[in-house]
Amino acid sequence: MENFSIAIDGPASAGKSTIAKKVASHLGFIYLDTGAMYRSLTYAALKAELVLEDEAALVSLLNTIEITFSYEGDQQKVFVNGEDVTDRIREKDVTQNVSLVSSHEKVRAEMVARQQHIAETGEIVMDGRDIGTVVLPAADLKVFLIASAEERALRRYKESIDKGMSVSLEQLTKELIERDHYDSNRTASPLKKAEDAVELDSTHLTIEQVVEEVLRLAKERL
């Protein structure tokens, strides 16, 4: 039998990675944060001072980098060629440029190949924008996780304040809406709900309630 797989897609800051991580840990599955892969490439491209419109240059760079993860309990770490970039890839310059980097078709083709390769190694929960539509079209469970833009921005705002970062809620809301718009309107595998995905609105739900619902849906299919 094929490995059981769960795809979690949705707009920015809908809680995908928090939910996916917890579901994977409950089920003893691998967890893959595909957004972190696009963020890692964006970080490397900014460091190399590439022109981010240059698809060929991005692909050449991607071919020289290995993106790896380590886990300790709920803590995920991300490495680019061994360098710990966990916090760096969440910074503003990466967040503001990642949609452009990930809009290139050839960049996506390479990322998708890497993600599918990882999925072959075991049962998996993967989160992103195109998992149910492109990366794992035959996933056993597809969840499209949404929440209102206000709620998503507020969650991101609280997270940033907790980390001691100074941010404006208004600016965060604006950036979030812009990124969703860009991700949903690009030509190469835009963010969209797979036809057979279950839509879950987490606006008024706690993390635990969403995790419980995803686990219930998964167990129905296991």
- The residues binding ligand C5P (CB under 6 A) are 12, 34-35, 38-39, 98-99, 102, 128-131, 179, 183
Rank residues 7 and 216 by Cβ distance to ligand C5P and give the closer one. Answer: 7
Distances (CA, A) of 178 to 14, 92, 182: 15, 14, 6
Q: What is the DSSP letter of 131?
A: I
Rank residues 43 and 128 by Cβ distance to ligand C5P and give the closer one. Answer: 128
Rank residues 126 and 211 by Cβ distance to ligand C5P and give the closer one. Answer: 126
**Residue at 168: amino acid letter:** S
From the CB of 157, what's the least distance to ligand C5P, in Å?
15
From the CB of 52, what's the least distance to ligand C5P, in Å?
12
Rank residues 23 and 128 by Cβ distance to ligand C5P and give the closer one. Answer: 128
From the CB of 1, what's the least distance to ligand C5P, in Å?
25
From the CB of 168, what's the least distance to ligand C5P, in Å?
19
Half-sphere exposure of 193 (CA within 13 A, CB side): 11
Q: Whose CA is closest to 131, among 145, 117, 115?
A: 115
- Those residues with Cβ within 8 angstroms of residue 154's Cβ, 6 or more apart along the chain or in another chain: 169
What end-to-end distance do the CA atoms of the chain give, in Å?
12
